[in-house]
Amino acid sequence: MPETVEDLYDISIVGGGPVGLFAAFYAGLREMKTKILESLSELGGQLTVLYPEKFIYDVGGFPKIIARDLAKNLMEQGLYFKPAVHLEEQAETLDRVEIESGVVYRIGTDKGKHFTRTVLITAGIGAFAPNKLSVPSAAHFEGKGVYYLVKDKTEFRGKRLLIIGGGDTAVDWALNLKDLAKKVTLIHRREGFRAHEGSLATLMKSEVDVKVFYELKEVRGNEVVEEAVIFDNRDRNETTIPVDVVLINIGYKADIGPLREWGMELENRRIVVNPRMETNLPGVYAAGDIAQPKDSVYLNLIATGFGQATIAVNVAKNYIDPKSRIFPGHSSEMRL
């Protein structure tokens, strides 16, 4: 027996981060009935959850923009055509089912069922949590001077700050906070950094005290952090420095969770797509960090995700209505 469906959508977007929000806007331009499913309590993805105070440099039209401001703009844009939005709802299952009008997808969540003609997965890196140092004293002072995320950088005003890490997040925070904090020290366990070359060059010219081959041994203090013991991993010599805040930026653990069981081809926790952003499942697409373009270059950039989302939505529109053009014309020709 065909399932009875009260509300059928043209496209359901799994993930309400920057790529998902732009996809919702573009789907509106194509006059598609759109739904966003987001497991977190707010839209914006990593921009709002991981680094709301961080500068973003790789979005066209903005030489630099604070992540929370970019997220605010994307939310205004993404909600322009009033898509249905379901927050705090984890997409768990995906099935092909028959309804009275034909065969569609049913997305099962921890709160209900959603029926849709096409699915676009923009789930970023999946569920994420910061990697933590195996330093017992650091765990003891979490929330009392030891942090893995920055929600409000004004809390660091006038503080002596120790940053640990060698990637973009650590380097960007060192640059972002150097004029706010009393002193910034950055330590990295090896000489080579994984940060963007331009940011690294700026860091090395700044007043930030950069120490390579150094690691954290101990955090000390009474009720809050007062000093840190660091050591040179080449000769094990220790140095004690006065600090008020220890910011640990050593990457994140990510897990795509139930998406693994949806029957899509995966590679390194990412969903394999062709140049049309199609997965191996008909009518299912992926864009952004979670998408692994086949025989193409993988770039973990918001700007790349925007382009992939546009391709996916246009192809999905043609999938639903083969008479529609994949390229509808320039957006400047449309009336908003």
So what's the pLDDT on residue 325? 92
The amino acid at residue 231 is: F
Domain ranges of the chain: 8-128+253-333, 132-250
Give CA–CA dist 140/134, Å, rounded: 11
Give CA–CA dist 242/106, Å, rounded: 56
* Range 8-128+253-333 classified under CATH 3.50.50.60: yes
Write down the residue that tokens 């006038």 correspond to.
158
Helix, strand, coil percent content, the chain, rounded in steps of 5: 25, 30, 40
Tokens at 216, concatenated: 């954290």
- List, for residues 219-232, the tens digit of each pLDDT value: 999 999 999 999 99
Instruction: Using alpha carbons, select from 256, 305, 335 the residue that is nearest to residue 70.
Output: 305
Tokens at 215, concatenated: 């690691």
Give CA–CA dist 314/302, Å, rounded: 19
Residues of the chain with pLDDT below 70 are 1-4, 333-336
Tokens at 227, concatenated: 């000093």
Mapping DSSP to helix (H, G, I), strand (E, B) and coil, where does residue 47 land?
helix
283 contacts: CB under 8 Å, gap ≥ 6: 105, 117, 118, 119, 316, 319
Contact 9, 115 (CB under 8 A): yes
Give CA–CA dist 298/251, Å, rounded: 19
Same fold yes or no, 8-128+253-333 and 132-250: yes
- Within a 10 A sphere around the Cβ of 7, how many other Cβ atoms? 10
User: pTM of the full predicted structure?
Assistant: 0.81
Fold that domain 132-250 belongs to in CATH: FAD/NAD(P)-binding domain (3.50.50)
316 contacts: CB under 8 Å, gap ≥ 6: 10, 11, 27, 32, 118, 120, 283, 285
So what's the pLDDT on residue 19? 98
Tokens at 253, concatenated: 């653990």
Give CA–CA dist 5/234, Å, rounded: 65
Give CA–CA dist 305/291, Å, rounded: 9
Contact 242, 235 (CB under 8 A): no
Contact 287, 160 (CB under 8 A): no
Report the length, in residues, of the chain.
Answer: 336
Write down the residue that tokens 């999938």 correspond to.
319
So what's the pLDDT on residue 6? 74
Q: What percent of the chain has pLDDT over 90?
A: 79
Write down the residue that tokens 């990510």 correspond to.
254
Give CA–CA dist 258/279, Å, rounded: 16
Write down the residue that tokens 């630099």 correspond to.
64
Give CA–CA dist 48/90, Å, rounded: 18
Mapping DSSP to helix (H, G, I), strand (E, B) and coil, where does residue 82 land?
coil
